[in-house]
Structure 1
Amino acid sequence: MDLSTIMSRAAGLAGGAGGEALKRLQHVRLPGVGQSSVTDDPRTAARRWRAVTVLTEPARLQESLPAPLAAFGDRLEVRVTPAPGDRGAELAARFRGPVTEDEIGHLRAALREAKALVEVGEVLRVDPQPHGHRKPTPQGRTVEGMAQRAPEEGVL
């Protein structure tokens, strides 16, 4: 087996490990703070509200849903309320029935995209990198794996 094949396999494993590490870090218990994310059974997780604060008038969001949330159709229950401290609107959504963990991740990403569309007018993307592509090293693959998973988990 030549060196390029070995490096390619190592980079692939590192990318997968980075995504898995991010997933595990979401559930680390922090002393004095609690758990960074709640791990619930799928039925309970589906009923949990996920929310973002959007710098806009609540009436604007009540008129029509942003496209990322509208794509879910009637599978979502959506709530729009004034945000505390006169900071815009709180946009919250939850599923009406049982869903998978991946679908919950898609809802988190859709809420962030909806916020960006309303506030900025577009969804800003990190990729592709302005300076080019990351080198296919184990560290670069790890960062790539984490960057791909971050929109659904909410952190990088």
Structure 2
Amino acid sequence: MPLPKIVTRAAGLAGGAGGKALEQLQHLRLPGFGQSSVTDDPRTAARRWRAVTVLTDPEQLHTAIPAPLAAFGDRLDVRVTPAPGDRGAELAARFRGPVTQDEIGDLRAALRESKALVEVGEVLRVDPQPHGRRKPTPQGAALEGMTEAAPKEGVL
């Protein structure tokens, strides 16, 4: 077998092995370390604090909870503490009772929207596109789907 094929094959095997190792590490949890795992049971995930760092004086958040979080009413525990390194305030929230995965996504989106409202004064949106609609291509459809899911998942 020629050397370029051997190198290509070895790179493919190494990439596959690395992917499997990362998949296993994703499910490894050490108590008190890291972020919540996607494999946590729903009751544990619902009780977990979700937080954002907001570039503002913590006292400003103590006086008025931002509207996206206030919309949840008394279903949330909200905590405001000074952010580490004197970087503003840490705004954290968690549900008081049982919730669904969709509601957890709504909370994550509300925290990010609250951060934007306090820091910028508005929530910036990707849609609608200033130049019109995206072309109905497979890539355009994939981007539309990711843009729709991003507010709840926190990634694009």
Q: Which TM bucket (shorter chain)?
A: 0.7 to 0.9
Equivalent position of 1:73 in the other structure: 73
User: Cα RMSD over matched residues?
Assistant: 2.0
Q: Distance in 2 between matches of 1:29 and 1:60?
A: 46
Matching of residues 36-55 of structure 1 within 5 Å = 38-39=37-38, 40-55=40-55
- Range 122-131 or range 72-81, more displaced: 122-131
For residue 97 of structure 2, what is the amino acid of its counterpart?
G
User: What secondary structure sits across from 1:44 in the alignment?
Assistant: helix
Greater gyration radius: 2
Moved more, 33-42 or 62-71: 33-42
Amino acid at match of 2:46: A
Regions of 4+ moved over 4 Å: none
Distance in 2 separating the partners of 1:132 and 1:144:
13
State the Cα deviation string for residues 41-84 of structure 1 (Å, max 9, x = none).
Answer: 11101100000000000010010100000000000000000000
The match for 2:9 is none
SS for the counterpart of 1:77 is: strand
SS across alignment from 1:31: helix
Give the whole-Å Cα distance in 2 for the aligned partners of 1:83 and 1:29. 36
* SS of residue matched to 1:90: strand
Distance change (3 Å), C-alpha of 1:153 and 1:32: closer
Deviations 1:80-133 (CA, angstroms, capped at 9, x unpaired): 000000000000000001100000000000000000000000101111112221
Q: Secondary structure at the match of 1:122?
A: coil
- In 2, Cα distance between the equivalents of 1:30 and 1:68? 38
Report the counterpart of residue 98 of structure 2 in structure 1.
98
**Unaligned segments of structure 2, at least 5 residues:** 1-18, 27-34
**CA 30–54 in structure 1, closer or farther in 2 if over 3 Å, else same:** farther
Residue 107 of structure 1 corresponds to which residue in structure 2? 107
Task: Tell me the amino acid that sits aligned with residue 38 of structure 1.
Answer: S
Instruction: Compute the TM-score of the two structures, normalised by the length of structure 1.
Output: 0.77
Q: Which residue of 2 aligns with 1:151?
A: 151
Shift of 1:31: 3.3
CA apart distance, 1:38: 1.1
The structure showing larger relative contact order (alpha-carbon pairs under 8 Å, at least 6 residues apart) is 1
Alignment length (residue pairs): 129
Structure 1: which 5+ residue stretches go unaligned?
Answer: 1-27
Q: How far 1:33 moved relative to its partner?
A: 10
CA distance in 1, matches of 2:21, 2:56: 34
Contact 2:47 2:96 in 1 (8 A): yes
